[in-house]
Amino acid sequence: MRTIRKQTGHFLEDFRPGHVYRHKGGKTVTEGLFTTFTEFAMTANPLAKNARYARAYGFQGLLCPPGLVMLICFSQTVEDISENARANLEYIDMRFGAPLYVGDTIEVETKILGVKSSASRPNLGVVHVQSTARKNVGSQGEAIVLTWQRKVQVYKRDENAELHPGDVSPDPVACELVLPPYDRARDYKSLAHLSSPDSYFEDFEPDTRIEHSRGRTMTSEHIHLTAVLDNTSQVHCNQFMIDQDPAQYVGGQLIIFGGIPFVLCLGLSSPDVGDNALGDIVYPTGRHTAPLFAGDTVFAATEITGKRDYPGRPDLGVLETRLLGHKFERAENAKSDDAPPGWKKTRIFELERQIAVKRRSHYT
Protein backbone atom coordinates (compact mmCIF):
# COMPACT_ATOMS: atom_id res chain seq x y z
CA MET A 1 0.00 0.00 0.00
CA ARG A 2 1.33 3.38 -1.08
CA THR A 3 1.45 6.08 1.61
CA ILE A 4 0.78 9.76 1.03
CA ARG A 5 1.61 12.25 3.77
CA LYS A 6 -0.83 15.05 3.23
CA GLN A 7 0.19 18.57 4.05
CA THR A 8 -2.39 21.24 4.63
CA GLY A 9 -1.60 24.90 4.35
CA HIS A 10 1.26 26.52 2.48
CA PHE A 11 4.90 27.04 3.37
CA LEU A 12 7.14 30.03 2.80
CA GLU A 13 8.43 28.84 -0.57
CA ASP A 14 4.86 28.46 -1.90
CA PHE A 15 4.00 32.15 -1.71
CA ARG A 16 4.37 34.42 -4.74
CA PRO A 17 3.82 38.18 -4.55
CA GLY A 18 0.68 39.13 -6.47
CA HIS A 19 -0.98 35.71 -6.16
CA VAL A 20 -4.57 35.71 -4.91
CA TYR A 21 -6.01 32.88 -2.80
CA ARG A 22 -9.77 32.43 -2.76
CA HIS A 23 -10.08 30.62 0.55
CA LYS A 24 -11.98 27.37 0.95
CA GLY A 25 -14.94 26.84 3.21
CA GLY A 26 -16.60 30.11 3.94
CA LYS A 27 -18.55 30.51 7.14
CA THR A 28 -22.19 31.06 7.96
CA VAL A 29 -22.72 32.89 11.24
CA THR A 30 -24.98 30.75 13.42
CA GLU A 31 -26.47 31.66 16.78
CA GLY A 32 -24.06 29.14 18.26
CA LEU A 33 -21.00 30.89 16.90
CA PHE A 34 -22.44 34.26 17.84
CA THR A 35 -23.04 33.36 21.47
CA THR A 36 -19.77 31.55 22.06
CA PHE A 37 -17.58 34.35 20.83
CA THR A 38 -19.56 37.43 21.71
CA GLU A 39 -19.70 36.67 25.34
CA PHE A 40 -16.67 34.58 26.24
CA ALA A 41 -14.79 37.88 26.16
CA MET A 42 -17.25 39.83 28.34
CA THR A 43 -18.37 42.11 25.54
CA ALA A 44 -20.68 44.75 27.04
CA ASN A 45 -22.17 46.64 24.07
CA PRO A 46 -25.94 46.02 24.07
CA LEU A 47 -25.99 46.01 20.25
CA ALA A 48 -24.45 42.54 20.57
CA LYS A 49 -26.58 41.33 23.46
CA ASN A 50 -30.04 42.78 23.26
CA ALA A 51 -31.98 42.39 19.98
CA ARG A 52 -34.64 44.88 21.09
CA TYR A 53 -31.94 47.53 21.51
CA ALA A 54 -30.17 46.64 18.26
CA ARG A 55 -33.40 46.90 16.26
CA ALA A 56 -34.31 50.17 17.92
CA TYR A 57 -31.00 51.53 16.62
CA GLY A 58 -31.84 50.49 13.06
CA PHE A 59 -29.82 47.26 12.88
CA GLN A 60 -31.50 44.11 11.56
CA GLY A 61 -30.97 42.26 14.82
CA LEU A 62 -28.13 41.31 17.15
CA LEU A 63 -24.96 42.82 15.69
CA CYS A 64 -21.74 40.81 15.55
CA PRO A 65 -19.30 42.86 17.62
CA PRO A 66 -16.02 43.90 15.95
CA GLY A 67 -14.06 41.18 17.71
CA LEU A 68 -16.29 38.45 16.35
CA VAL A 69 -16.16 39.93 12.85
CA MET A 70 -12.37 39.87 13.09
CA LEU A 71 -12.23 36.29 14.43
CA ILE A 72 -14.51 34.87 11.74
CA CYS A 73 -12.96 36.69 8.80
CA PHE A 74 -9.35 36.27 9.89
CA SER A 75 -9.72 32.56 10.61
CA GLN A 76 -10.85 31.87 7.06
CA THR A 77 -7.36 32.83 5.88
CA VAL A 78 -5.44 30.60 8.26
CA GLU A 79 -5.29 27.37 6.29
CA ASP A 80 -3.81 29.02 3.22
CA ILE A 81 -1.67 31.65 4.88
CA SER A 82 -0.69 30.69 8.40
CA GLU A 83 -1.42 27.03 9.14
CA ASN A 84 2.34 26.56 9.11
CA ALA A 85 3.21 29.86 10.75
CA ARG A 86 5.28 30.41 13.85
CA ALA A 87 3.75 33.76 14.82
CA ASN A 88 1.57 36.56 13.56
CA LEU A 89 3.68 39.73 13.49
CA GLU A 90 1.45 42.65 12.64
CA TYR A 91 -2.07 43.74 11.73
CA ILE A 92 -2.26 46.70 9.33
CA ASP A 93 -5.15 48.89 8.17
CA MET A 94 -7.99 46.65 9.33
CA ARG A 95 -11.16 48.41 8.18
CA PHE A 96 -14.77 47.51 8.93
CA GLY A 97 -17.58 47.75 6.36
CA ALA A 98 -21.11 46.29 6.33
CA PRO A 99 -22.64 45.02 9.58
CA LEU A 100 -22.48 41.26 10.11
CA TYR A 101 -25.56 39.39 11.36
CA VAL A 102 -26.55 35.88 12.32
CA GLY A 103 -27.41 34.07 9.08
CA ASP A 104 -24.84 35.91 6.95
CA THR A 105 -22.21 33.87 5.11
CA ILE A 106 -18.63 35.14 4.91
CA GLU A 107 -16.17 34.26 2.14
CA VAL A 108 -12.63 35.61 2.05
CA GLU A 109 -9.77 36.10 -0.38
CA THR A 110 -6.15 37.07 0.18
CA LYS A 111 -3.52 38.66 -2.04
CA ILE A 112 0.15 38.03 -1.34
CA LEU A 113 1.83 41.44 -1.07
CA GLY A 114 5.34 40.41 -0.07
CA VAL A 115 7.68 37.52 0.71
CA LYS A 116 10.94 37.94 2.62
CA SER A 117 13.48 35.47 3.98
CA SER A 118 14.80 35.68 7.53
CA ALA A 119 18.45 36.60 7.98
CA SER A 120 18.89 34.80 11.27
CA ARG A 121 16.59 31.77 10.95
CA PRO A 122 17.00 29.90 7.68
CA ASN A 123 13.80 27.91 8.16
CA LEU A 124 11.58 30.97 8.51
CA GLY A 125 10.54 34.11 6.67
CA VAL A 126 7.83 36.74 6.53
CA VAL A 127 4.76 36.87 4.31
CA HIS A 128 2.81 40.11 3.92
CA VAL A 129 -0.82 39.72 2.80
CA GLN A 130 -3.99 41.69 2.15
CA SER A 131 -7.32 39.95 2.86
CA THR A 132 -10.91 40.95 2.17
CA ALA A 133 -14.06 39.33 3.57
CA ARG A 134 -17.39 39.63 1.81
CA LYS A 135 -20.87 38.56 2.75
CA ASN A 136 -23.67 37.58 0.42
CA VAL A 137 -26.61 39.90 0.53
CA GLY A 138 -29.23 37.94 -1.38
CA SER A 139 -30.03 39.13 -4.86
CA GLN A 140 -28.20 42.39 -4.21
CA GLY A 141 -24.83 40.73 -4.62
CA GLU A 142 -22.27 41.06 -1.88
CA ALA A 143 -20.90 43.53 0.63
CA ILE A 144 -17.43 43.94 2.07
CA VAL A 145 -17.39 43.28 5.80
CA LEU A 146 -13.69 43.59 6.63
CA THR A 147 -10.40 44.21 4.86
CA TRP A 148 -6.94 44.07 6.41
CA GLN A 149 -3.27 43.43 5.89
CA ARG A 150 -1.04 41.34 8.08
CA LYS A 151 2.55 40.14 8.31
CA VAL A 152 3.16 36.62 9.45
CA GLN A 153 6.26 34.54 10.15
CA VAL A 154 5.96 31.27 8.22
CA TYR A 155 8.07 28.10 8.25
CA LYS A 156 9.71 26.69 5.15
CA ARG A 157 8.78 23.17 4.16
CA ASP A 158 12.36 22.63 2.94
CA GLU A 159 15.10 24.78 4.40
CA ASN A 160 16.91 24.79 1.06
CA ALA A 161 13.95 25.69 -1.10
CA GLU A 162 14.17 28.83 -3.17
CA LEU A 163 11.83 31.64 -2.27
CA HIS A 164 9.90 34.05 -4.43
CA PRO A 165 10.85 37.25 -2.64
CA GLY A 166 9.46 40.63 -3.59
CA ASP A 167 6.66 43.10 -3.02
CA VAL A 168 3.55 44.28 -4.82
CA SER A 169 1.16 47.09 -3.92
CA PRO A 170 -2.02 46.47 -1.95
CA ASP A 171 -5.28 46.78 -3.87
CA PRO A 172 -7.50 49.74 -3.11
CA VAL A 173 -10.49 48.22 -1.31
CA ALA A 174 -13.66 50.28 -0.85
CA CYS A 175 -14.50 49.39 2.72
CA GLU A 176 -16.08 51.94 5.03
CA LEU A 177 -18.15 51.49 8.14
CA VAL A 178 -21.84 51.18 7.25
CA LEU A 179 -24.11 52.50 10.01
CA PRO A 180 -27.88 52.97 10.23
CA PRO A 181 -28.80 56.67 9.99
CA TYR A 182 -29.60 58.75 13.05
CA ASP A 183 -33.35 59.14 13.18
CA ARG A 184 -34.91 61.85 15.33
CA ALA A 185 -38.16 59.89 15.36
CA ARG A 186 -36.63 57.05 17.30
CA ASP A 187 -36.83 57.06 21.07
CA TYR A 188 -33.14 56.45 21.84
CA LYS A 189 -33.53 58.08 25.24
CA SER A 190 -35.75 55.32 26.58
CA LEU A 191 -32.92 52.85 25.95
CA ALA A 192 -30.17 54.88 27.56
CA HIS A 193 -30.17 52.89 30.80
CA LEU A 194 -29.03 49.81 28.88
CA SER A 195 -25.54 51.16 28.17
CA SER A 196 -22.92 52.82 30.36
CA PRO A 197 -23.74 56.35 31.49
CA ASP A 198 -20.13 57.54 31.26
CA SER A 199 -18.79 56.31 27.92
CA TYR A 200 -20.26 58.87 25.53
CA PHE A 201 -18.04 60.85 23.18
CA GLU A 202 -18.20 63.84 25.52
CA ASP A 203 -16.74 61.76 28.36
CA PHE A 204 -13.33 61.17 26.83
CA GLU A 205 -10.29 63.36 27.01
CA PRO A 206 -7.15 62.88 24.95
CA ASP A 207 -4.05 61.95 26.92
CA THR A 208 -5.99 59.79 29.31
CA ARG A 209 -5.17 56.21 30.06
CA ILE A 210 -8.07 54.06 31.28
CA GLU A 211 -7.13 50.93 33.23
CA HIS A 212 -10.05 48.56 32.73
CA SER A 213 -11.01 46.83 35.93
CA ARG A 214 -11.70 43.27 34.89
CA GLY A 215 -9.36 40.37 34.30
CA ARG A 216 -10.20 37.12 32.54
CA THR A 217 -8.24 33.91 33.01
CA MET A 218 -7.89 31.81 29.87
CA THR A 219 -8.03 28.03 30.13
CA SER A 220 -7.43 25.18 27.71
CA GLU A 221 -10.83 26.21 26.30
CA HIS A 222 -8.70 28.02 23.71
CA ILE A 223 -8.14 24.76 21.83
CA HIS A 224 -11.85 24.23 21.36
CA LEU A 225 -12.54 27.88 20.54
CA THR A 226 -9.83 27.91 17.92
CA ALA A 227 -11.18 24.78 16.24
CA VAL A 228 -14.72 26.17 16.17
CA LEU A 229 -13.32 29.19 14.31
CA ASP A 230 -11.79 26.93 11.61
CA ASN A 231 -8.36 28.10 12.65
CA THR A 232 -6.30 25.03 11.85
CA SER A 233 -2.86 26.28 12.84
CA GLN A 234 -1.20 23.36 14.62
CA VAL A 235 0.64 25.46 17.20
CA HIS A 236 -2.71 26.07 18.89
CA CYS A 237 -4.05 22.51 19.07
CA ASN A 238 -1.43 19.80 18.50
CA GLN A 239 0.31 19.10 21.79
CA PHE A 240 2.16 16.08 20.41
CA MET A 241 3.84 18.23 17.77
CA ILE A 242 5.06 20.59 20.48
CA ASP A 243 6.20 17.75 22.75
CA GLN A 244 8.47 16.35 20.08
CA ASP A 245 10.53 19.54 19.76
CA PRO A 246 9.47 22.18 22.29
CA ALA A 247 12.40 24.48 21.54
CA GLN A 248 11.07 25.02 18.03
CA TYR A 249 7.84 26.59 19.28
CA VAL A 250 7.09 29.85 21.07
CA GLY A 251 7.11 29.14 24.80
CA GLY A 252 7.53 25.41 24.27
CA GLN A 253 3.80 24.85 24.69
CA LEU A 254 0.52 25.37 22.88
CA ILE A 255 0.24 29.07 22.23
CA ILE A 256 -3.19 30.69 22.32
CA PHE A 257 -4.41 31.90 18.92
CA GLY A 258 -3.77 35.64 18.75
CA GLY A 259 -7.37 36.32 17.86
CA ILE A 260 -8.31 35.27 21.39
CA PRO A 261 -6.34 37.94 23.31
CA PHE A 262 -7.30 40.41 20.55
CA VAL A 263 -10.98 39.83 21.30
CA LEU A 264 -10.49 39.51 25.06
CA CYS A 265 -8.87 42.95 25.15
CA LEU A 266 -11.75 44.39 23.13
CA GLY A 267 -14.20 42.76 25.52
CA LEU A 268 -12.45 43.80 28.72
CA SER A 269 -12.34 47.39 27.48
CA SER A 270 -15.92 47.48 26.32
CA PRO A 271 -17.74 48.63 29.49
CA ASP A 272 -15.52 51.73 29.56
CA VAL A 273 -14.86 52.44 25.90
CA GLY A 274 -17.05 50.37 23.59
CA ASP A 275 -20.42 50.33 25.29
CA ASN A 276 -21.73 53.37 23.47
CA ALA A 277 -19.92 52.76 20.19
CA LEU A 278 -21.98 52.10 17.07
CA GLY A 279 -19.02 50.44 15.42
CA ASP A 280 -15.25 50.15 15.14
CA ILE A 281 -13.95 52.04 12.12
CA VAL A 282 -10.35 51.04 11.57
CA TYR A 283 -7.37 49.48 13.32
CA PRO A 284 -4.41 51.19 11.60
CA THR A 285 -1.90 48.84 13.22
CA GLY A 286 -1.64 46.20 15.89
CA ARG A 287 0.61 43.43 17.15
CA HIS A 288 1.11 40.71 19.72
CA THR A 289 4.08 41.56 21.90
CA ALA A 290 4.17 38.40 24.01
CA PRO A 291 2.47 35.03 23.80
CA LEU A 292 -0.55 34.01 25.86
CA PHE A 293 -0.86 30.56 27.41
CA ALA A 294 -3.59 28.63 29.21
CA GLY A 295 -3.67 29.80 32.84
CA ASP A 296 -2.72 33.41 32.09
CA THR A 297 -5.08 36.20 33.14
CA VAL A 298 -5.62 38.96 30.59
CA PHE A 299 -6.08 42.63 31.51
CA ALA A 300 -6.56 45.63 29.25
CA ALA A 301 -6.08 49.37 29.18
CA THR A 302 -7.07 52.04 26.67
CA GLU A 303 -5.18 55.24 25.92
CA ILE A 304 -7.27 58.04 24.42
CA THR A 305 -5.02 59.56 21.77
CA GLY A 306 -7.41 61.84 19.90
CA LYS A 307 -10.96 62.93 19.17
CA ARG A 308 -12.54 64.27 16.00
CA ASP A 309 -15.87 64.75 14.32
CA TYR A 310 -17.39 61.91 12.35
CA PRO A 311 -17.96 63.33 8.85
CA GLY A 312 -21.64 63.77 8.09
CA ARG A 313 -22.79 62.44 11.48
CA PRO A 314 -23.23 65.14 14.12
CA ASP A 315 -24.58 62.45 16.46
CA LEU A 316 -21.22 60.66 16.51
CA GLY A 317 -17.57 61.34 17.14
CA VAL A 318 -14.43 59.44 16.24
CA LEU A 319 -12.42 58.33 19.23
CA GLU A 320 -8.77 57.55 18.51
CA THR A 321 -7.35 55.09 20.98
CA ARG A 322 -4.62 52.59 21.72
CA LEU A 323 -5.89 49.33 23.18
CA LEU A 324 -3.27 47.58 25.30
CA GLY A 325 -3.33 44.06 26.72
CA HIS A 326 -1.17 42.68 29.47
CA LYS A 327 -0.69 39.79 31.83
CA PHE A 328 1.35 39.31 34.99
CA GLU A 329 4.14 36.77 35.35
CA ARG A 330 5.78 35.54 38.53
CA ALA A 331 9.22 37.13 38.89
CA GLU A 332 11.11 36.67 42.12
CA ASN A 333 12.53 39.90 43.53
CA ALA A 334 10.72 41.93 40.90
CA LYS A 335 9.79 45.40 42.04
CA SER A 336 7.96 47.86 39.88
CA ASP A 337 5.22 50.43 40.11
CA ASP A 338 2.84 48.58 37.90
CA ALA A 339 2.87 45.10 39.43
CA PRO A 340 2.63 43.66 42.94
CA PRO A 341 5.87 42.46 44.55
CA GLY A 342 7.02 39.19 43.06
CA TRP A 343 5.27 39.80 39.75
CA LYS A 344 6.09 41.60 36.55
CA LYS A 345 3.67 43.06 34.07
CA THR A 346 4.06 41.87 30.48
CA ARG A 347 2.50 43.69 27.56
CA ILE A 348 0.88 41.11 25.29
CA PHE A 349 -1.02 43.16 22.73
CA GLU A 350 -1.36 46.64 21.30
CA LEU A 351 -3.82 47.96 18.76
CA GLU A 352 -4.45 51.41 17.29
CA ARG A 353 -8.21 51.66 17.28
CA GLN A 354 -10.65 54.26 15.97
CA ILE A 355 -14.22 53.97 17.18
CA ALA A 356 -17.52 55.63 16.20
CA VAL A 357 -18.96 56.74 19.54
CA LYS A 358 -22.38 58.21 20.25
CA ARG A 359 -22.65 61.75 21.58
CA ARG A 360 -24.63 62.13 24.79
CA SER A 361 -26.24 65.20 23.26
CA HIS A 362 -28.08 63.04 20.73
CA TYR A 363 -28.85 59.85 22.62
CA THR A 364 -29.84 60.69 26.19
DSSP 114-139: EEEE-SS-TTEEEEEEEEEEEEE-GG
**Residue 14 engages a second copy in binding (rule: CB under 8 A):** no
Cβ distance to a second copy smaller for residue 149 or 233? 233
Number of residues that bind a second copy (CB under 8 A): 84
Select from 169, 220, 248, 361 the one that contacts a second copy (CB under 8 A). 220
From the list 116-124, 234-242, 278-286, 356-364, the region that binds a second copy by CB under 8 A is 234-242
Q: What angle do CA 356, 358, 362 make, to 5 degrees?
A: 145
Cα distances from 181 to residues 102, 144, 184, 258, 274, in angstroms, run 21, 19, 10, 34, 19
From the list 92-100, 206-214, 285-293, 348-356, the region that binds a second copy by CB under 8 A is 206-214
Q: Scan residues 278-307 and list those touching a second copy (CB under 8 A).
A: 295, 297, 299, 303
CA-to-CA distance for 217 and 298, rounded, in angstroms?
6
DSSP 181-207: PP-TTS-GGGGGGGS-TT-SGGG--TT
**Residue 189 engages a second copy in binding (rule: CB under 8 A):** no
SS (H, E, C) 33-56: HHHHHHHCCCCCCHHHCCHHHHHH
From the list 23-31, 65-73, 178-186, 255-263, the region that binds a second copy by CB under 8 A is 23-31
Select from 168, 237, 250, 331 the one that contacts a second copy (CB under 8 A). 237
**Residue 234 engages a second copy in binding (rule: CB under 8 A):** yes
Q: Scan residues 334-363 and list those touching a second copy (CB under 8 A).
A: 340, 343
**Residue 168 engages a second copy in binding (rule: CB under 8 A):** no
**Residue 107 engages a second copy in binding (rule: CB under 8 A):** yes
CA-to-CA distance for 261 and 217, rounded, in angstroms?
11
**Residue 145 engages a second copy in binding (rule: CB under 8 A):** no
CA-to-CA distance for 206 and 322, rounded, in angstroms?
11
Say if strands 105-117 and 166-167 run parallel, antiparallel, or are unpaired. antiparallel
From the list 37-45, 148-156, 158-166, 255-263, the region that binds a second copy by CB under 8 A is 37-45
CB-based contact 102:62 (threshold 8 Å): yes
- Closest distance of CB 298 from a second copy, Å: 9
Strand (E) or helix (H) holding 106: strand 105-117
Cβ distance to a second copy smaller for residue 55 or 116? 55
From the list 11-19, 103-111, 156-164, 355-363, the region that binds a second copy by CB under 8 A is 103-111
